[in-house]
Amino acid sequence: MIIVEKPGQPREIVPTIFCNKESESKVVFASIVSVTISGAESIEQQVQMIVVLLIITLFVALISRPLRLPYTLVLVVVGLLIGLFPILPQVYFNPNAVLFLFLPALLFEGAWNIEVKLLLADWLPVLLLAVPGLLLSVFIVAALVHWGIGLSWLLALLLGSMVAPTDPIAVLSLLRKMGLSERLRVIVEGESLFNDGVGAAVFTIVLAFLLPPLGLAVPGNTGFWAIAADALWLMLGGLAIGLVVGWLVAHLLRFVDDFLIEMTITFCVAYGVYLLGITLHTSGLLAVVAAGLVMGSYGRSKGMSQRTQEATQDIWEFIGYLANSLLFLLLGVQIGASRYTQAIPGVIWALVGVVAGRVLMIYLFLPLQDAIARRAMRKARPFPNTWRPLLVFSGLRGALSIALVLSLPAALAQRDLLAGIVYGVVLVTLLGQGLGLFVLLPRWQKEAGKEDSSSTP
């Protein structure tokens, strides 16, 4: 089953960066097959379950709109209730489905819709928040949980890499419904699209040092410099692959004038570039983002007719809506079905680290951005002060964090504790920060809009 799995049948994902070339293709192929044919003996029951889940999402959509509540957050609450009271006991959150099915589609859809010109105009704050800002947050979380509950530094860094990245799925789905300033929305979207790839790279690097004692890493590929080189390729290679593939396919679209074929091509790019990135030992997530940015800007304007653009926009909007609905519902189910009360102290320390890291990165790197912009750029665009609290509240965590923790090898020490902490952090940030952003946004929106217009040359 692509989105549910039976109890007692957990599956693990070993990052392909630790596999040799001979076994790499086997790992990727096995991961895909396990997602697509799991439970093939009961296809009818699985289809019935998908229909039930879709009906639940429709019901939630119908009740959330009149109440003016964020649809995705209501889905999480409904999923929590389903998990707490085992109404659908056969439904489980499948990390393979998230990594191979949901994330490529949602990241491509997010990159497809972002305004690339606006993103390039504010590339510096996006870069500062997505790379050094995220690394700062990782180390703050790691330090607090290390000192607070006694986790080893490697386990603490592993936890930090899982909870520090803002989840693009959670952020994009919420912000699009809330009417933020266009510039602010592009910055938040850009940060969330890129920092998950950086967080996944840190996760992979730390895991590289933890796997050898468990006999899960390939000998000869775990030295410091080998891992450093792999990490560099992991972060830059995906971007390069996505840009090249997106550019080539964008030129190919100029020779095709059939909107059905062109829509199919974009679908193949979203998943194909992700699998290509994994096969080449780099970040498939960043490859999808880069390809989506190129296809959504250059490819759409140069290689697609008006009818194709409208049809492609509609189909990706539907795919994003469908994937978001199922993902947030299953996210709530997984958290609700978990019983990790022993992780509460770790959740508290990790939450303090997450909030402190977010506040520090916003109030440290945005003033730095303003200073650099005034000195080095002719058209300086400083950030309105009212945006900073909004950026703090936009640091939601979601499906990516849970998919990463569920992909940890079962032999890893304190895996259950790490899972409990991640569940707690995701739940509090989704409901706490998400509702806080929803409630507080109207107070800041008009003032921020005025400051934004006044800061624009």
CA-to-CA distance for 259 and 309, rounded, in angstroms?
8
Q: How high is the pLDDT of residue 10?
A: 42
Residue 295, pLDDT score: 92
Question: What b/e sequence results for 270-280 when a residue is b if at least 16 CB atoms lie within 10 Å of its CB, and e otherwise?
Answer: bbbbbbbbbbb
Name which of 441, 453, 449 is nearest 176 in CA terms.
441
Tokens of 364: 């440290």
Mean pLDDT of the chain: 79
In a domain, 416, yes or no: yes
Instruction: Classify residue 1: in a domain, yes or no.
Output: no
Lowest mean per-residue pLDDT among 14-18, 89-93, 431-435? 14-18
Which tens digits make up the pLDDT trace of 270-279? 999 999 998 9
Q: Tens digit of pLDDT for each residue in 327-378?
A: 888 888 888 888 777 888 999 999 999 999 999 999 999 888 888 877 776 5
Which of 436, 410, 420 minimizes the C-alpha distance to 335? 420
Q: Does the residue 188 lie in any domain?
A: yes
Is there a domain that residue 41 lies in? yes
Mean pLDDT to the nearest integer, 3-28: 43
Q: Do 430 and 401 meet the contact criterion of CB atoms below 8 Å apart? A: no
Q: How many domains does the chain have?
A: 1
Token pair for residue 366?
A: 């945005």
DSSP code of 378?
S
Residue 4 lies in a domain: no
What is d(CA 402, CA 414) in angstroms, rounded to the nearest whole number? Answer: 15
Domain of residue 187 covers: 16-455
Region 270-290: mean pLDDT is 91
pLDDT of residue 58: 92
> Which of the four pLDDT bands, split at 50, 70 and 90, describes residue 299?
confident
**Across 4-9, average pLDDT:** 42
Which has more pLDDT, 307 or 456? 307
> Is residue 212 a part of any domain in this protein?
yes
Q: What is residue 364's predicted lDDT score, i.e. its pLDDT?
A: 92
How do residues 255-274 score in pLDDT, each as one tens digit? 888 889 999 999 999 999 99
pLDDT for the residue numbered 343? 87
Q: Confirm whether 371 is domain-assigned.
A: yes
Return the pLDDT at 190.
87
Most confident listed range (9-13, 233-237, 418-422): 418-422
CA 285 – CA 274 distance, rounded (Å): 6
Q: Which residues of 126-165 are buried (b: 16+ CB within 10 A; e: fewer)?
A: bbbbbbebbbbbbbbbbbbbbebbebeeebbbbbbbbbbb
Q: Considering the domain boundaries, does residue 336 fall inside one?
A: yes
Between 186 and 421, residue with greater pLDDT: 421
We report the CATH number of the domain holding residue 191 as 1.20.1530.20
Average pLDDT over residues 190-201: 83
How far, in Å, are 122, 147, 372, 375, 454 from residue 379 at the CA level? 11, 44, 11, 10, 13
pLDDT of residue 358: 93
Q: What is the pLDDT of residues 346-357, one digit of tens each?
A: 999 999 999 999
pTM for the whole structure: 0.82
